[in-house]
Amino acid sequence: MSKRKILKAVNCSLNADGVFVYLDEYETREEAEEALKDAILEYFDYGVEEEEK
């Protein structure tokens, strides 16, 4: 079986003391959840490595 190259996130950490959005700024809870995910990604720190697996 041949090895395949992968990219993986390493040394992951969240550089924030809690991330939040205000529910009243969004029409639906789903929109607020999506905004929260985006906000988390802004504070998420990670490295990327390539390897064969």
Question: Closest Cα partner for 14 from 42, 43, 47, 39?
Answer: 43
State how many domains the chain has: 1
Enclosing domain of residue 15: 5-52
Q: How far apart are CA 50 and CA 17, in angstroms?
A: 30
Confidence band for 50, pLDDT divided at 50, 70 and 90: very high
**pTM here?**
0.64
> Residue 31's beta-bridge partner residues?
none
The reported pLDDT for the residue numbered 1 is 77
